[in-house]
Amino acid sequence: MNTQLDDIRIRKVKVLGDRAKEEAEKQGFSENDLVIVRTVIGSLPTYKLTKIEGSPTQFIRDKILNSD
Amino acid sequence: MDNNISTKLVLSHTVFHTAFRADKFREVSQRDVLKQFLRARFISDFIIEIGSESPEGECYGVTSQRIFSEFCTKLEEEGTSLGKADYFQILKSFIYCVPNESINKLGVNEGIIVIADILSNRGNYDPIIITDMKKPKMNSTATEYYKKYTGQDDPKIPFLILNAKEAIRFLHGRFPKYYDLVKSRDSKYNLI
């Protein structure tokens, strides 16, 4: 696991704040898309977004629980 | 956001394991087992759907710390995976695990009955226990528990106990917007 990773959670694009939302728009995500937000704190936090496809429960089990 | 968000889904250990540790169901072709899995997953998707746009710290799902810890132990026993810590962190951001020691000393079913009782008696929430156990079994566990501690022959149980199928019907009626969103995310939900 990346030791710089400070937080991970699922949020809906429409509730994201300025910079995270800008990142979502850059990646072409829609308002109702669910995304995994990985927050990495260096000086100013950066937000890495991964769009969830399909069932979010299935997605996190497949992509996060079973990741190596 | 829909009204009456004070509803809390209190997850029993059965539905919790079925939803979040369901790899064993993948190979099963029996339709009833597949439906059971999809219904439990629908409930967890619903909790995520609402939680993903709620203020952080507000959880729509609740369970006991004991149930969550037993779930974590079970996953640990199934082998190592670097993703487990992240997985647990995400689940805990959606499902409040009641840490109270006296609750966690109780059996898994009695623990969630007590959690639902506390939520309903404080007047802030409208709890619903969701179980994969056959409904009469969970109802009789609750009835016996209330009989024992109230001394009444026919005690009133102050919350609903629903199986996953009934809970989905309830959620459809109360939160149609979220129901439609969850359903639209996976075509397999047409099977349930």
pLDDT in tens, chain B (192 residues): 444 558 899 999 888 888 887 665 555 567 778 888 899 999 999 999 999 999 988 899 999 999 999 999 988 887 767 788 899 999 999 999 999 999 999 999 999 999 999 999 988 789 999 998 666 688 889 999 999 999 999 999 999 999 999 999 999 999 999 999 999 999 999 988
Question: What pLDDT was estimated at residue B1?
Answer: 46
A&B contacts, CB < 8 Å = 75
Question: What pLDDT was estimated at residue B24?
Answer: 56
Query: Is A56 touching B (CB cutoff 8 A)?
Result: yes
Option in A8, A54, A55 nearest B89 (CB)? A8
Phi, psi for residue B7 in degrees, rounded to 5:
-60, 135
Query: Is A3 touching B (CB cutoff 8 A)?
Result: no
Question: What pLDDT was estimated at residue B78?
Answer: 78
- Do residues A40 and A6 touch, judged by C-beta distance below 8 A? yes
Q: What percent helix, strand, coil does chain A show, rounded to 5?
A: 30, 30, 35
Q: Which amino acid does the sequence have at A48?
A: K
Please tell me which residue of chain A has the smallest CA distance to B51. A11
pLDDT digits (tens, 9 = 90+) for A35-65: 999 999 888 899 999 999 999 999 998 888 8
Phi, psi for residue B186 in degrees, rounded to 5:
-150, 120
Option in A56, A58, A60 nearest B87 (CB)? A60
Q: Which amino acid does the sequence have at A67?
A: S
Burial of residue B40, with CB atoms counted within 10 A of its CB: 0-12 exposed, 13-18 middle, 19 or more buried: buried
Query: Is A50 touching B (CB cutoff 8 A)?
Result: no
pLDDT interval class at A3 (50, 70, 90): very low
- Do residues B166 and B177 touch, judged by C-beta distance below 8 A? no
pLDDT interval class at A2 (50, 70, 90): very low
CB interface of B with A, residues 14-33, below 8 Å: 19-20, 22-23
Query: Is A44 touching B (CB cutoff 8 A)?
Result: no
Higher-pLDDT residue of B80 and A18 is A18
State the pTM of this model: 0.91
